[in-house]
Structure 1
Amino acid sequence: MDDDEYSWDSDEVSLVGTDTPIQLVQLQYLNGVWQVTASETAGPEYHRPGFTELIGEKYSYETSKLNDAVEKANQFMNNLSG
């Protein structure tokens, strides 16, 4: 990776290790906002093994309401699993 591809803040690092491709849905509460994202990673043959990247703009959602965030997380999981 190039030096300008990352900015490490040890308080905000989440590490994911895998030897096979995976997709994940993340629900987190930051600064008063619920954030739901879907990311994917891949195994050692991928150009950035072990790093997660947002699947696409349609898999990013923010809301102040927990129920809406949980509903969106479930929707993302259903879309990705089927």
Structure 2
Amino acid sequence: MDDDEYDWNPDDVSVVGTDVPIRVVQLQYFDQEWQVTASETAGPEYHRPGFTELISREFSYTTSDFDDAVQKVRDFIRDLSSEK
């Protein structure tokens, strides 16, 4: 990254390693739409260890209805929790 691409103090950042990917489901509100995404951290063998990346396009959803977005969060969590 170039210096002008971020605005944070790197001394405040803690990097924690993990042997297995950690998954995150996010619900965000932008421009009158709810966005739901599921990401996972890249493991040590991946090209960007420690960064989160979208799991796949099946785990990206946009809607204007809040209740629909909350249900999609639950669906994503259920689907990711039941994977072997």
Q: TM-score band, normalised by the shorter chain?
A: 0.7 to 0.9
TM-score (norm 2): 0.73
Report the secondary structure of 2:17's partner residue: coil
Retained in 1: the 8 A contact 2:34–2:69?
Answer: yes
Which aligned segments of 4 or more residues in structure 1 are displaced greater than 6 angstroms?
none
Q: Which residue in 1 is equivalent to 2:56? A: 56
Give 1:50's aligned amino acid.
Answer: G
* Structure 1 gap segments, 5+ residues each: none
Q: Which residue in 2 is equivalent to 1:29? A: 29
Retained in 2: the 8 A contact 1:18–1:42?
Answer: no
Residues of 1 paired with 2:16 and 2:30: CA distance?
26
Residues of 2 paired with 1:26 and 1:54: CA distance?
11
Report the secondary structure of 1:50's partner residue: coil
Retained in 2: the 8 A contact 1:23–1:38?
Answer: yes
Give 1:39's aligned amino acid.
Answer: S
Alignment of 1:56-75 (within 5 A): 56-75=56-75
When the two structures are aligned, how many residues end up with a matched partner?
73
Retained in 2: the 8 A contact 1:19–1:42?
Answer: no
Report the secondary structure of 1:61's partner residue: strand
Larger Rg: 2
Give 2:73's aligned amino acid.
Answer: A
Q: Cα RMSD between the aligned structures? A: 2.4
Q: Decide whether aligned partners of structure 1 residues 45 and 18 sit closer, same or farther in structure 2, where only a CA change above 3 A counts.
A: farther
